[in-house]
Amino acid sequence: MRFKQYLGGFGAGVIVSASVLTIANAVTTNTTANEDTTSAYISYTVQEENGDTISSETKSSNENVEETTLATESQTEATTEATTEATTEATTEATTEATTAASTTATIEIPSGTSTKEVFNIIYNAGVISDVSAFSKYMYDTGYDTKIRIGTYTLTKGDSYENIAKIITHQ
């Protein structure tokens, strides 16, 4: 029952998000279309002091549209370059974090017939915990000491006792 409620909530969220993005896209598209079709004319006349007309000229702002298009293309190129650099940096950071995460994890094996004291020492020797007595006290106090299961586990060094206990007891 709980899963169906979560699934229903997720579906409703997807529908609301899609609606919001569709409306945002429509508003953006209409704004761009209005900007492209707008034009203006600039007219001026230069006269001498005696009233004779020297020159008269009318300019359409459509010429400015071409200049704006060129400026927009250069901005797009700059944005693309910045995005590429940001993506490269993010990938480098993710790789560094993955390497760091690999060095902060330890894989331990709890073989069949191992006593709880031996399990605690295995975890300590792997560098996951810094104090065997505090960890064993926690395990005994919470009742996790009787629920330890055999197997191979990947634990995070310095993780909380609760998380370590849940992992090695499958809870």
**CATH number for the domain harbouring residue 134:** 3.30.1490.480
Per-residue pLDDT band at 30 (split at 50, 70, 90): low
Structural domain includes residue 110? yes
Domain assignment of residue 90, yes or no:
no
User: Is 147 a residue whose pLDDT tops 80?
Assistant: yes
- Domain range for 125 is 103-168
User: Position of tokens 């560094």?
Assistant: 96
- On whether residue 155 sits in a domain, the answer given is yes
Q: Tell me the pairing of strands 53-60 and 41-47.
A: antiparallel
Q: How many domains does the chain have?
A: 1
> What's the mean pLDDT when you consider all of the chain?
73
What value does the mean pLDDT take over residues 39-64?
56
What is the structure's pLDDT at 81? 65
C-alpha to C-alpha distance for 46 and 54, rounded to whole angstroms: 6
**pTM score:** 0.42
* Mean local confidence (pLDDT), 42-70: 55
Of the two residues 82 and 14, the one the predictor is more confident about is 14
Res. 39: pLDDT tops 60: no
> Would 136 be classed as within a structural domain?
yes
Q: Side-chain half-sphere of 26: how many Cα atoms within 13 Å?
A: 6
Q: What is the pLDDT of residues 84-128, one digit of tens each?
A: 565 566 655 655 555 554 568 899 999 999 899 999 999 999 999
- Domain presence at residue 118: yes
Is 57's pLDDT higher than 60?
A: no
